[in-house]
Structure 1
């Protein structure tokens, strides 16, 4: 079990008028909680019906809310629209300032998505990442929502600063296309390493994922599954990747900047892909438990 602090938005995804707990940081926290870790989520959550739904969801996955995360302000919402291929787009009403966010001695600090590039939450997240204690692994997933970007140059600057402060950066190919139009995968991942990250990973949905370190490159395929929807798939991948990193020697190697074992990295990516595949095979952001993941990996002979 690893102690983990996750910082960022918690909201409800409203699909066909039904509310489901969501938000990328919340989904990652839930994924890590279900995989057996000791997770604290720092967010902004109302005491309204939506807030209570989220709080119950977190309790069910053994995720603790950080002190100050609940208030009388309304809970954030994202109305989900699925296209003919079951891909999701969102319309947001947000409330996430993270004014209570403080550094912790957790073994892992993770953030991403909307709160990490919008003011004032982005400034608080940068402050905590900059104050991260020695020996704490830091991870970041831009998980962009371009429609919410008010100033592209400012957002890019914040995103690249967080990349420079993180050991692990995972982004989607859609993120990469918005951040660096016209760049190929190698150029994007090498640029992220150049900013200061130790591990840069790009996901391609049904086409799998690719990872670069300063010493090796690894690509893995996605699982072949019947897709129900893609909600939370990237977050499940992120949770699975972080879980696998701490189940091996990768965490210490990434912190120290020492040589990465290629076989360990490939195994970690396979676990991440399994978590994503298991999630897209069922409705909503519903990542696997540790027992489900272990059973799946055993059946797959991994």
Structure 2
């Protein structure tokens, strides 16, 4: 049977560093970016860390510095992923998503599909970097969370740095009792990328992404809602009125028809139901607000 090509130790270190989020201005830094933190999280001996990061520093994927960490009493070496390193992580992800190997899904062995095709077909996210690389088949039944994810309309994940304040605000929204969050900014400022990145951090949440550019007519939006509602065992009305375990992203609200304005006005008045994140430009016409 086919085998996944396992990640090398430097690749594992790079992927680990890509997951650590913090404000670059913080005086006390996460333990995870120190040598001991890297060793513990990657599952290697601390003595192997210097050699691994040396390779990454040489090709400018990681930079080295010194700072205080949360558990340290003195300044120590810390390692930060660079924009070039983030781009490399995306390459690794694309490589893994193109792998073909048997997978166990719903107690059935499925063959002949790439991991990317599996994600799209079953609307689930695969933890690519949690794969050991030596499995005869991937047991996705044990890996997958219960959340159903439809990100077909979403932009492709991009390199992402230094937006911790905004991410914390979105996290706070999901923990609060609020139902609707509006993320706005000038065109090209990355509002869609910010929300797209955030969705990758979630588990056990049913997520639907609706591109307003592709589905600008009300009927098109309603069709997307009905299809997704069927996936989670509900009607579109139930999804909007009572499914608090669902998150719906309406991406790119801008110059819309009156019937769409009325649709969103009705959503705003609802007290319960799916959480909504709406991205829009700060120059949205007044008649669309």
Q: Is TM > 0.5 for Structure 1 vs Structure 2?
A: no
User: TM-score when scaled to structure 1?
Assistant: 0.26
TM-score, reference length from structure 2: 0.27
Task: From the two aligned structures, give the one with the greater strand fraction.
Answer: 1
